[in-house]
Structure 1
Amino acid sequence: MRHRIGSLRRRWRNRLAGRSEDAFGDPGAAAQRHSSLDPTVTGAQEHPPFEPAAPGMRDYLFFGVIDWHFRHQRPQQLALAVARGGRRVFYVSVNFVDAAEPGFSVERLDAQLPLYQVFLRVRGPLSVYAMQADDAQLAQLRASLRALWLHADIGAAVSVVQHPFWHPVAGFFPTARTVYDCMDHHAGFANTADAHVELERQSFALSDLTVVTSTMLEGQARPLARRVELIRNAGEYGHFHAAVALRAASDAAAGTSARRPVVGYYGAIAEWFDLELIDRLAGELPGCDFQLIGDDTAGAGRALRHRANVRLLGEKPYAELPRWLAAFDACLIPFRVNALTLATNPVKVYEYLSAGKPVAGTDLPELRAMDGLVYRATDHEAFGAALRTALAERNDPGADALRARRMGFAREQTWQHRAAAFEQAAEDCSDEPTVSVVVVAYNQWPLTRRCLESLEACTDGAPTEVIVVDNASADETAERLREWEREAPGRRIAVLNAENLGFGGGVNSGMARASGEYLVILNNDTIVSPGWARGLRRHLQRDPGLGLLCPVTNNIGNEAQVALPGATPEEVFASARRYNLARTGKLLPLSIAAFFCVMIPRRIWERIGPMDERFFPGYFEDDDYCMRLREAGLRVGCAEDVFVYHELSASFNAESHARRQAIFERSRKLYEEKWGPWKPHTYRPESLPRR
């Protein structure tokens, strides 16, 4: 269970002043100040360049629930284990840089690992726990994160959200899987903002994966989340197992017979800590010393000052904990039973067991799985009995086998084990909704092949079904499509029409074979980009009122066209990456979307029906479909953060100008008979075609 406190303000100022280095700040700026309750960081320095991402590995961004240098728990342990596996890890702190302009500061956490703590810039004080970012702060946080994304050249990634506050900031990048790492019942904390309850529901619903740490959290998440994996907490076995040798050396030097038994605890001493229980235990066992390690925000010092055998030792560095653990004869998990503790999987129990220590704990659901290794108690009286049983092991030679069992259990419950499970679940894209892509082709096989190659390269492992409809091409297209289909039967489907059904008829024949939850109509003269389908899908998932969505492109006859410099597709894609990142999460409302690339939820396609095949062989069928959507109360949009390259009307351009004009006028007449006068499409002012 992570703990949030405000007493670390002075510690942050002393420990980290001047250590962070800023991507966009002036050299020689004032030293930064950190706070964990009012987490604002000011001042910065220029930072060294990031290491490049490891080939074939995703970057990880952990949107933390505690700062890196505060008590070493699940957030840091998972991030560290992932970095040790070779992946770049950016740990986004709960502390911010107070600044008017977007940007970020960075602290390299390990010279040997690609592991960085990042402080985002935002104006004014902002608490992750007790506040919700207002619109201006949210926009600045997103811009600061985009700056990191661009500066570090982040591509394929996993965004790990560890507190609901971060969901509106982190969940928008098309090339990133979003994982909600739910490790606490956040509503159980006294300083949780009311808005965070709703943000957590959104985190469950919109994340690609929800990871939970306990069966209680699993039960809460399953009705709300798309996919849930139970990945419990763990311990750093080697670190805490060192307490065994430390204790043996201490006993050899001083003996054990005259030493008073020590009952120990380390961790937060907060509102869930049962002070009445400790008071009772200390009174019942006056011959034992009770050592309580951790920041005291529950008033334990005052409540227990009459107990001479109770010592509150304050917070101790993580590196020193094995030395203190070595001295414990029995360990405590003395929690009150409430919604917060019922949902917790205590990290400390794995650490205690790594040293083979007997543990007396409150009867929590997550401790029941460790029956036979720990002593559970349902009330104060039973807890006293459990503690006495635990202490009796001190002089029981027969307890060696039990200690060995405890250590054997802990040895298999390490952060390396958990990180491996976490990575496997986080990077498994097979759980994402299937996307069916319908490509209509008529001759132009080289363009079709290029389009299909880009689709294959940019699926990112997500379930993708590609259906190519050949409208009776006269070139090699049909033969090549048969070969293409045989290479991956099932996910590649070739529909070879005996006659040209036109664009609308071709789309309809492809859609009849589609099985996906999301349907895409894609021209064969396009090249898709990494994350394109996930980016479109997320907009549709966030906004059920959207009926249809297109990306921005370099070449189309309406507002979806944006001015992007570049003489080759590669140069245009580089420009598009910067354009998309600057507009992450943004949507442009449209009246009409051109069907060079559009995504439609299956439920919408089934509701509106197929395309009108009277618009043969093409033109205005996309205008017509958008009008049908709008008539049904749905909206049309353009995803500003997704780009697809487009040659523009490669098939129609093969026709003579006179024939194209005749087709255009015929289809326009049909459109106006249905919908009234046609309004010509418009461009953005900055994207007007060059004359």
Structure 2
Amino acid sequence: MRWTEAEPPGIGKRQQHTLSPSDLIADNPSHTTVLICFSHLRWRFVYQRPQHLMSRMATTHQVIFFEEALPTDAAEPWLEQRQEDNLQVLIPRLPASCQGEAAIDAQRRLLDAYLDDIAASDLIAWYYTPMSLPYSTHLKPRLTVYDCMDELSAFRGAPPSLVEQERRLMERADIVFTGGFSLFEAKRHLHANVHPFPSSVDIAHFGAARHVQPEPEDQASLAHPRLGFFGVIDERLDIALLEEAAIKRPEWQFILIGPVVKIDPQTLPRQANIHYLGSKSYAELPRYLASWDVALMPFALNESTRFISPTKTPEYLAGGRLVVSTPITDVVRTYGDSGVVKIARTPDEFMAAIEQALDEGRQQARVWQLADAALSDMSWDTTWKLMEEKMRCAV
């Protein structure tokens, strides 16, 4: 086994050098508890629940963010590692020939070698994906946490074994968190220690959108009204609703920010007033949000959205924008009576809700007052502190 900062020699242009994992964590020697987070979401993908929580956990723990494996041209498995913020990101890199049980064994060996190198004696295991269990089930953490942020088995491309692996993880977990109340209701009978923690928000970060921001170049030339969405563009997006609204309201500009995954980009509507601006960094989002007239959540109503609690709802509100959403259960339950989130099911209802939001948005002070009321006592800092309290009680 060997350790590198990026690609193995011969891949990429950076000069490589060998180093010990302990060298990379020397800046934070005071945290003796190692929290290893097994995630299906990559740290550099979209900044969301895992990043918010793990960056905060890293202030009290030595955090290792262990991602799913990626392929490599090297002949042997190796472990890519990166310093991100105040934690370590580890990515197993496996040759194409390394499949099935061999892949599980390789990831287990890479994981064990790393933990041995840093002399991890006090371990907490935190899971976002049950599919990490086969190569980590031998670990003996003093606490096992399952943060079930989505019903992954309902997502397109979910492995057939995911349901069974989740059952096994539920048996091992000391405590289970869920990403919303609907998911809590679906999981509460499966474990004796389940707690709902819906999506939260960094109010200060998105609150910047309430003030004049430099206009991003790829948005500056677009006319108003601007109707925006940021997030992952996948099977959860109601393509038909979006297309019909764009056709019937050609004067409205629909702005979509985020990566397109698990669906063919060619299937997305291509009206002149629909603008796909691609992925943006978390730091950039308030600049785009600042000049939107209404924020959108045009989610399809299907199995993949049945239990979601979208993080973007409080983020939009923190930025001072009125929101129009399809009737996602947790959105209706949490924000349906807030006065700042309009709920609409059909394309005609969706367009009528947008028109209402455009009209009400002129009363900026009232919108901000209602949004602040909806977000009272809501923050990732509060969520993190409450989670840590639950974890201490579970040990």
Q: Say if 1:23 and 1:268 are closer, same or farther in 2 by CA, change over 3 A.
A: same
Superposition map of 1:378-417 within 5 A = 378-395=345-362, 397=363, 399-410=364-375, 412-417=377-382
Q: 1:77 is matched by which residue type in structure 2?
A: H
Equivalence map 1:521-536=2 (5 Å): none
1:46 aligns with 2:26: no
Q: Determine if contact 1:235/1:415 at 8 Å carries over to the other structure.
A: yes
Amino acid at match of 1:413: M
Aligned to 1:75: 50
Question: Could you report, residue by residue, the CA deviation over 1:195-229 in whole angstroms, capped at 9, with x for unpaired residues?
Answer: 11211111122211111112222122222224211
Letter of the 1:88 counterpart: Q
Instruction: Report the equivalent of 2:102.
Output: 136
Matched AA of 1:311: H
Q: CA deviation at 1:192?
A: 0.9
Which position in structure 2 is the counterpart of 1:267? 231
Deviations 1:328-349 (A, max 9, x none): 1101100111121111110111
Structure 2-normalised TM-score?
Answer: 0.87
- Measured in 1, the distance between the counterparts of 2:6 and 2:368 equals 56
Aligned letter for 1:140? Answer: A
1:301 to partner: Cα distance = 5.7
Code of the residue aligned with 1:374 in structure 2: it is V
1:421 is the counterpart of 2:395: no
> Judging changes above 3 Å, is the alpha-carbon distance between structure 1 residues 57 and 367 closer, same or farther for their aligned structure 2 residues?
farther
Cα distance in 2 for residues equivalent to 1:226 and 1:417: 23
Distance change in 2, residues 1:92/1:27 (3 Å): closer
Aligned to 2:241: 277
* Aligned residue-pair number: 380
Whether the aligned pair in 2 keeps the contact of 1:58 and 1:88 (CA below 8 Å) is yes
Question: What is the CA-CA distance between 1:101 and the residue it aligns to?
Answer: 5.8
| Displacement after TM superposition at 1:172 (Å) | 3.2
1:355 Cα deviation after fit: 0.8
Distance 1:343 1:326 in 2: 29
Residue of 144, 149, 166 corresponding to 2:132: 166
Within 2, Cα distance between the matches of 1:364 and 1:118?
34
Pairwise mapping of residues 154-553 of structure 1 onto structure 2 (< 5 A)? 154-246=120-212, 260-297=224-261, 298-299=263-264, 303-305=268-270, 307-368=271-332, 369-371=334-336, 372=338, 373-395=340-362, 397=363, 399-410=364-375, 412-429=377-394, 462=395
**CA offset at residue 287 of structure 1?**
2.2
Letter in structure 2 aligned against 1:423: E
Structure 1 counterpart SS, 2:41: coil
User: 2:33 corresponds to which letter in structure 1?
Assistant: R
Secondary structure, aligned partner of 1:191: coil
1:665 aligns with: none
Cα drift, residue 125 of structure 1: 6.7
TM-superposed deviation, 1:377 = 1.5
2:65 to 87, 91, 97: 91
- Deviation, 1:394, is 3.1
The answer to whether the 8 Å contact 2:33/2:124 transfers is: yes
1:509-531 C-alpha deviation (Å, 9 max, x unpaired): xxxxxxxxxxxxxxxxxxxxxxx
Answer yes or no: is the 8 Å Cα contact 1:181–1:210 preserved in 2. Answer: yes
Q: Distance in 1 between matches of 2:304 and 2:325?
A: 15
Give the Cα separation in 1 of the matches to 2:381 and 2:6.
39
Instruction: For residue 388 of structure 1, report the CA deviation from its aligned partner.
Output: 1.3
On the 8 A contact 2:181/2:330 being kept in 1, the answer is yes
Q: Secondary structure at the match of 2:361?
A: helix
Shift of the 139–245 alpha-carbon distance from structure 1 to 2, 3 Å rule, reads same
AA matched with 1:104: L
The percentage of counterpart residues that share the same residue type is: 25
Tell me how far 1:159 sits from its aligned partner: 1.0
> Does the 8 Å CA contact 1:263/1:291 hold for their aligned counterparts?
yes
Any stretches of 5+ residues in structure 2 without a counterpart?
Answer: 216-221
**Structure 1 portions without partners, runs of 5+:** 1-20, 34-42, 127-132, 251-257, 430-461, 463-691
Deviations 1:446-482 (A, max 9, x none): xxxxxxxxxxxxxxxx5xxxxxxxxxxxxxxxxxxxx
Amino acid at match of 1:30: G
Residues in 1 aligned to 2:226 and 2:65: alpha-carbon distance in whole angstroms:
37
Partners of 1:267 and 1:345 in 2: CA distance: 13
Bigger radius of gyration among the two? 1
Asked whether the equivalents of residues 108 and 135 of structure 2 are also in contact (C-alpha less than 8 Å), the reply is yes
The 1-side partners of 2:372 and 2:264 are apart by 34
The CA deviation at 1:171 is 3.7
Alignment match, 1:29? 9
| SS of the residue 1:428 aligns to | helix
Secondary structure of 1:327's counterpart equals: coil
The residue number in structure 1 matching 2:218 is none
With the length of structure 1 as denominator, give the TM-score of the two structures.
Answer: 0.51
Note the C-alpha offset of 1:191: 0.9
User: In the alignment, is the contact (CA less than 8 A) between 1:60 and 1:158 conserved in 2?
Assistant: yes
For 1:168 and 1:302, locate their aligned partners in 2 and report how far apart those are by CA, in whole Å.
36
Q: Is the 8 Å Cα contact of residues 207 and 226 (structure 1) preserved in structure 2?
A: no
Residues in 1 aligned to 2:320 and 2:138: alpha-carbon distance in whole angstroms? 45
TM superposition shift of 1:404: 2.3
Aligned to 2:219: none
Secondary structure in 2 matching 1:246: coil
What amino acid maps onto 1:364 in structure 2?
I
CA RMSD of aligned residues (A): 2.9
Aligned partners of 1:45, 1:97: CA distance in 2, in Å?
20
1:416 is aligned with what amino acid? D
Would the alpha carbon gap of residues 283 and 52 (structure 1) be closer, same or farther in structure 2, given more than 3 Å must change?
Answer: closer
Aligned to 1:109: 84
Cα offset, 1:54, TM superposition: 5.6
1:317 positional shift: 2.0
Q: CA 1:216–1:150 in 2, change beyond 3 Å: closer, same or farther?
A: same
Q: Using the alignment, how far apart are the partners of 2:203 and 2:311 within structure 1?
A: 12
Q: Is the 8 A contact 2:6 2:81 kept in 1?
A: no
- The structural deviation recorded for 1:167 is 1.7
Question: Could you tell me how far apart the structure 2 residues matched to 1:26 and 1:81 are?
Answer: 25
Deviations 1:224-258 (A, max 9, x none): 224211111222222211111125x87xxxxxxx9
**Of 76, 90, 105, which residue of structure 2 is paired with 1:118?**
90
Residues in 2 aligned to 1:405 and 1:335: alpha-carbon distance in whole angstroms? 23
- Secondary structure of the residue aligned to 1:222 is helix
